[in-house]
Amino acid sequence: MKVLDNNTLRKIHSLSMQIKIPISGQATGNRKSRSKGSSVEFSDFREYVPGDDFRRIDWNAYGRFNKLFIKLYMEEREAPVNIFLDSSLSMDYGNPNKFLASCRLAAAISYISLLSYDSIYITPWNEKVQATYGPFRTQSAFVQVDNLISGFSTQGKSNFSDALRQMEWKTGRGVSIIITDGFVEKGLEEGLKYLKYRNQDIFLCILLSPEEISPNLEGALQLNDMETGKSIEVTMSAALLKAYEKSFKQYLADIKEKCRMWGVHNVVLPSDMPVDLMVKSIIT
Amino acid sequence: MSFETPIGFIGLLAIPIIILLYILKQKREEVTVSSLVLWSRVLEDMQAQTPWQKLRKNLLMFLQILAAILIVLALTGFSVNTGNISNQPIILVMDYSLSMASTDIKPTRLSAAKKDAIKYVDNLSSNTPVTVISVARQANVLLYSSTSKEDIKRSIESIEQSSSYTDRAKAEQLVLSIKNQQADAQIVLFSDNPLVFGNEQIQYSEYKKQNDNVAVVNFTHTKTSASVTAMSVLRNQGNSDAEISITLYGDDEFLDSQWVTVPANGTKTVWWDKIPMTVKTMHVNIDTEDILLDDNSAYKAVLSDSQVKVLLVTEGNFFLEKVLSLIEGVDLVRTTHEERSFSGYDLYIFDGSVPDILPEDGNVVVFAPQPNSYFQVGDWMSTPEISYMDNSIFNFVEDLSFSIGRTRIIESPTWAETIMEYDGNPIIIEGVVNNTRILVFGFDLYETDLPLKTEFPILISNIINEYAPYSGTVVNDAVTQDAVQFRLNPDTVKTNVLLPDGKRLQIAPPIPPEPFVNTNSPGIYCLEQIKDSGNVITFFDINIPDEWLMEENSSISSMSDIDTGYLTAEPLRNLAYKLTIPLLILAMILLLFEWWYYAKRNYI
């Protein structure tokens, strides 16, 4: 594998996605669906009406009530999992590199989802959505996914909400996993709202490098923004670093608060965290 | 407020350099970050919290400029005036006597005192009236109650080193008279010896580190038949014995040299003998250097051995004949009243007569004059009382008392002055007629007991010295700044004085000449009398006075005589508080604060 090694794949093999709400999709999977259909899990009875599949008539009930009833079962459908991978330039930063870490995370999520017979859509974005790859449905598709992800690269600025609005949606209700560093022009809020509007169960993964969480800078510096090209001049001091730390916490707290308001799962992941732990952090 | 070394202001050039360094763009290390979103937010927050951010950013620069200014002020010797803010008048007394030329304080005591006095004046508040008095042998008011610091400083600068002693009495009189006019004035003394001005309080700045000085305080000679013997007295003013080398020169040629040890605070007499008779001038010189070089030499003009030719015109006067024959160097010739033409003598003594025509080449002394054409001779006056006689012929015989049986009443002419009188009638007169000096005694020596007195030979010797001097001068053992009165020969046409530095000054005519006062330099002076009959050259010497002795003598009230309870001769306080150390400490604190502020800074 290009993005994930076999050892990592083994670790995450047993993990499966915990998804709270039913989802809608075309192919059958092992997710509960609102669609009633053929499955092993009983859901309800209703009277037979012409046109129904007479193979589903419950003859035992007919014997007791002398009426034709049809057994309804909860149809198990696949969950469309949209992975929105931030591929703006700001992701190409840190040690370990945030973008590599986010690719590994995307691959890991894809792998687990494919194991669960979910369909995977991978959408790298920056100012706009570059493309939506998928659906990938079978486990064997992971090789494709792996190849696909390994070919991704960073470029451009990030604008989450505009990118989503310009995107052509292929799925309905589903799971959206956003992997980003959160340093997004105009913020994430509008984008999250839009995903909610699209009935997405949202997992927001804020992936940051250790240098961003705790900068180790000193002296008179010119800080250059790798995404926008802007720069500011600062003279590092203990007070400044303290203020940064405070501001950083506040920034995460703001994101958390907004996610709470919008019912968005969120997690902050350092880029040096092993990918299996990242996955665990997301699903637990 | 004053600056000791204003050249330190050059250091202010550091300020534009500091500003320039801040203006120049600081070279910053470039660091790429993923996003400036958070950093921008932090900076906005901090700038919002710190409204004086820009000023604080430059605080380091201001601190550095301030530190630079403080260091520059320290370098300039910045000092502030802490005294005399009440404009109390100041009587500034500067001692410029010989001892102030000592070099134990570089360059000399006087230079150091002048410098300090100027600094003192600088530190006075601007409206302080200052009287500047210089004291040495003369006490002079150089500037009276002036508030112009420039004038005060100029008058202090103008004080030139004297080669004489301090006349303490004169200094005291002058300072006290000024003090009487300015009762609230503060006396400030710059000297090497504590002078006393009554019971007045004095701020005294002493200029004496040590006193290791040996001076030649006396130098004299005597002639024997074969040679000249000289004696020099050395005084050691120091507190340790001084071993010195002293050399004798005759007519500026080396004669002899001796190694002597002068005891501490004592004197040593050095004898020189077998000096050739041909030597006209001598001087001794201490070769060993000490703090005061001016008093290391003494000069002596060797008296000529020529005889004074005296003509006694008398019908017989045993007393005069006897006494004149006893005086060494007098070549006495006696004649009677029948002699009518007089020439070829230095002095003519007429006993009982007055010539019709006064001799032109010598002075005249007359006893018991007869009526004549030069002055009126009146009746006899019996038993006049002797009164005090203030004249050089009575030197050393001030207590002389004698009786006169009768004397002629002399009508004092306009050209003469009365030396002694009784009841308004002159008894002894003196004057000058046609360049000839005449001394007239109204009485006959036989009608007085004067010749019987022991002082009579001294009186006649004084007359010989005064009216027929061996040298041209009257004042022997003259010291610097003495006024020297010359006794010129009556037939002198013109007289010059050659100073030790070779300069020639004409002093006569007029005849008699004014007292000669150009005696500031010690050395051998030459009196040149130009006559029709040939020039007469005589030498005289001017020496440095024995300052120690003179100051002891001139002191009315020495320190020990004064009840010290009334006197506080306190050392001159340094009124200017020099801020070098506090400024440097402040600069150091500022720089430490700057370092601390930089390390703990909470700005961008």
What's chain B's average pLDDT?
80
Higher-pLDDT residue of A213, B55: A213
Whole-number pLDDT of residue A25: 45
Q: What is the helix, strand, coil percentage profile of chain A, to 5? A: 35, 30, 35
Domains in chain A, CATH or no CATH each: 6-16+78-283 (3.40.50.410), 28-77 (no CATH)
Residue with token string 């019912």: A263
Query: Alpha carbon of B143 to those of A156, B90, B98, B110: distances in Å?
Result: 91, 11, 22, 18
Residue type, B231: M
Residue B222, pLDDT above cutoff 50: yes
Higher-pLDDT residue of B135, B123: B135
Among residues B270, B301, B332, which one ends one of the domains? B301
Residue B253's domain spans which residues?
Answer: 214-301
Give CA–CA dist B347/B330, Å, rounded. 10
Residues B579, B3 contacting (CB under 8 angstroms): no
B549 found inside a domain: no
DSSP A201-254: EEEEEEEE-HHHHS----SEEEEEETTT--EEEEE--HHHHHHHHHHHHHHHHH
Backbone angles phi, psi at A14, to 5 degrees: -80, -10
- All residues of chain B having their beta carbon less than 8 Å from the beta carbon of residue A231 are 30, 36
A64 burial level (CB within 10 Å; 0-12, 13-18, 19+): exposed
Among residues B467, B486, B505, which one ends one of the domains? B467
Chain A's closest residue to B32, CA to CA, is A224
B354 found inside a domain: yes
Residue B603, pLDDT above cutoff 70: no
DSSP B533-585: T--EEEEEEEE---HHHHHHHH-SS-TTTS-GGG--EEEPP--EEE-HHHHHH
Q: Is A124 helix (H, G, I), strand (E, B) or coil?
A: strand
Check whether residue B427 and residue B405 sit in a common domain: yes
Pick the residue of B42, B61, B597 with the most A CBs within 10 A to test the interface with A by mutation: B42
B39: which residues sit within 8 A by CB, 6+ positions away?
A223, A232, A234, A244, B33
Whole-number pLDDT of residue B55: 59
How are strands ordered across the β-sheet holding A265-270? A133-136, A119-125, A80-86, A174-180, A200-208, A265-270
Q: pLDDT band at residue A78, thresholds of 50, 70 and 90?
A: low
Residue B262, pLDDT above cutoff 80: yes
Among residues B257, B275, B301, which one ends one of the domains? B301
Residues B390, B418 contacting (CB under 8 angstroms): no
Residue type, B542: I
A59: which residues sit within 8 A by CB, 6+ positions away?
none
Number of structural domains, chain B? 5
For residue B247, count other CB atoms closer than 10 A to its CB.
15
DSSP conformation class of B163: S
Check whether residue B429 and residue B496 sit in a common domain: no
Whole-number pLDDT of residue B586: 92
**Most confident by average pLDDT, A30-34, B80-84, B588-592, B596-600:** B588-592
Task: State how far Cα A278 lies from the chain centre.
Answer: 12
Peptide bond into B384 cis (omega under 30): no
ipTM of the complex: 0.76
Give CA–CA dist A87/A102, Å, rounded. 9
Range of lowest pLDDT (A52-66, B208-222, B243-257, B468-482):
B468-482
Check whether residue B323 and residue B378 sit in a common domain: yes
Chain A's closest residue to B603, CA to CA, is A240
Q: pLDDT band at residue A193, thresholds of 50, 70 and 90?
A: confident
Q: pLDDT band at residue A215, thresholds of 50, 70 and 90?
A: confident
CA B545, B551, B556 angle in degrees (round to 5)?
145
Q: At B498, which helix (H) or strand (E)?
A: strand B492-498
Check whether residue B193 and residue B220 sit in a common domain: no
- All residues of chain A having their beta carbon less than 8 Å from the beta carbon of residue B37 are 183
Peptide bond into A96 cis (omega under 30): yes
Q: At B150, which helix (H) or strand (E)?
A: helix B149-157
CB contact under 8 A, A224 and B600: no
pLDDT tens string A101-119: 999 889 988 888 888 777 8
As a three-state string, the secondary structure of A45-79 is EEECCCCCCHHHECHHHHHHHCCCEEEEEEEEECC
B472 found inside a domain: no
Residue type, B81: N
Q: pLDDT band at residue B589, thresholds of 50, 70 and 90?
A: very high
Whole-number pLDDT of residue B566: 39
Residue B485, pLDDT above cutoff 80: no
B557 found inside a domain: no
Residue B559, pLDDT above cutoff 50: no
Give CA–CA dist A33/A77, Å, rounded. 6
Residue A20, pLDDT above cutoff 50: no
Check whether residue B235 and residue B297 sit in a common domain: yes
Q: Is A220 on the interface with B (CB under 8 A)?
A: yes
Higher-pLDDT residue of A23, B7: B7
Whole-number pLDDT of residue B406: 85
pLDDT tens string B98-112: 888 888 888 888 888
CB contact under 8 A, B601 and A91: no
Residue B218 tokens read as 């006396």
Check whether residue B224 and residue B176 sit in a common domain: no
Whole-number pLDDT of residue A57: 86
Residues A209, A270 contacting (CB under 8 angstroms): yes
Residues B417, B429 contacting (CB under 8 angstroms): yes
Q: Is A218 on the interface with B (CB under 8 A)?
A: no
B7 found inside a domain: yes
Give CA–CA dist B524/B533, Å, rounded. 25
Q: At B249, which helix (H) or strand (E)?
A: strand B242-250
Dihedral sign, CA of B96, B102, B108, B109? negative
Residue with token string 């969480």: A213
- Span between the terminal Cα atoms of chain A, in Å: 26
Check whether residue B194 and residue B318 sit in a common domain: no
How are strands ordered across the β-sheet holding B90-95? B139-146, B130-135, B90-95, B186-191, B202-206, B569-571
Check whether residue B19 and residue B160 sit in a common domain: no
Smallest Cβ–Cβ distance between B32 and the set A215, A224, A235 belongs to A224
What's chain A's average pLDDT?
81
Residues A148, A132 contacting (CB under 8 angstroms): no
Residue B557, pLDDT above cutoff 50: no
Longest Cα–Cα distance of chain B, Å, equals: 144
Give CA–CA dist A226/A211, Å, rounded. 14
Chain A nearest-CA distance from B42, in A, is 6
**Most confident by average pLDDT, B121-130, B347-356, B383-392:** B347-356
Check whether residue B18 and residue B68 sit in a common domain: yes
Longest Cα–Cα distance of chain A, Å, equals: 89
pLDDT tens string B132-150: 998 888 888 888 888 888 8
pLDDT tens string A143-174: 888 889 888 888 888 888 888 888 887 777 78
Q: pLDDT band at residue B56, thresholds of 50, 70 and 90?
A: low
CATH number of the domain at B133, please.
Answer: 3.40.50.410
As a three-state string, the secondary structure of A98-115 is HHHHHHHHHHHHHHHHHH
Backbone angles phi, psi at B370, to 5 degrees: -95, 160
Smallest Cβ–Cβ distance between A221 and the set B31, B45, B603 belongs to B31
Whole-number pLDDT of residue A22: 40
**Most confident by average pLDDT, A218-222, B40-44, B317-321:** B317-321
Query: Alpha carbon of B216 to those of B271, B283, B430, B543: distances in Å?
Result: 13, 10, 39, 9
Whole-number pLDDT of residue B324: 86
Residue A77, pLDDT above cutoff 70: no
CB contact under 8 A, B41 and A239: no
Query: Alpha carbon of B326 to those of A83, A173, B321: distances in Å?
Result: 151, 161, 9
Q: pLDDT band at residue B588, thresholds of 50, 70 and 90?
A: very high
- All residues of chain B having their beta carbon less than 8 Å from the beta carbon of residue A91 are 34
Check whether residue B457 and residue B323 sit in a common domain: yes
Smallest Cβ–Cβ distance between B35 and the set A225, A233, A243 belongs to A225
Share of chain A above pLDDT 70, in %: 86
Check whether residue B45 and residue B94 sit in a common domain: no
Smallest Cβ–Cβ distance between A244 and the set B27, B38, B600 belongs to B38
- Span between the terminal Cα atoms of chain B, in Å: 41
Check whether residue B460 and residue B316 sit in a common domain: yes
Which of residues 143 through 182 in chain A touch B, CB cutoff 8 A?
Answer: 181
Smallest Cβ–Cβ distance between B45 and the set A90, A230, A247 belongs to A247
CB contact under 8 A, A237 and B602: yes
Q: Is A97 on the interface with B (CB under 8 A)?
A: no
Q: Is B381 helix (H, G, I), strand (E, B) or coil?
A: strand
Range of lowest pLDDT (A24-33, B78-87, B353-362):
A24-33
B334 found inside a domain: yes
CA-wise closest residue to A259 among A212, A208, A201? A201
Q: What is the dihedral of CA A8, A13, A17, A18, to 10 degrees?
A: -110
Residue B306, pLDDT above cutoff 70: no
CB contact under 8 A, A94 and B34: yes
B564 found inside a domain: no
Give CA–CA dist A80/A136, Å, rounded. 9
Whole-number pLDDT of residue A41: 60
Give CA–CA dist B590/B60, Å, rounded. 10
Whole-number pLDDT of residue B47: 67
Higher-pLDDT residue of B172, B85: B172
pLDDT tens string B499-542: 888 888 888 777 677 778 888 888 888 888 887 777 777 888 88
CATH number of the domain at B315, please.
Answer: 3.40.50.880
Give CA–CA dist A77/A4, Å, rounded. 27
Residues in a beta bridge with A33: none
Give CA–CA dist A171/A165, Å, rounded. 14
B570 found inside a domain: no
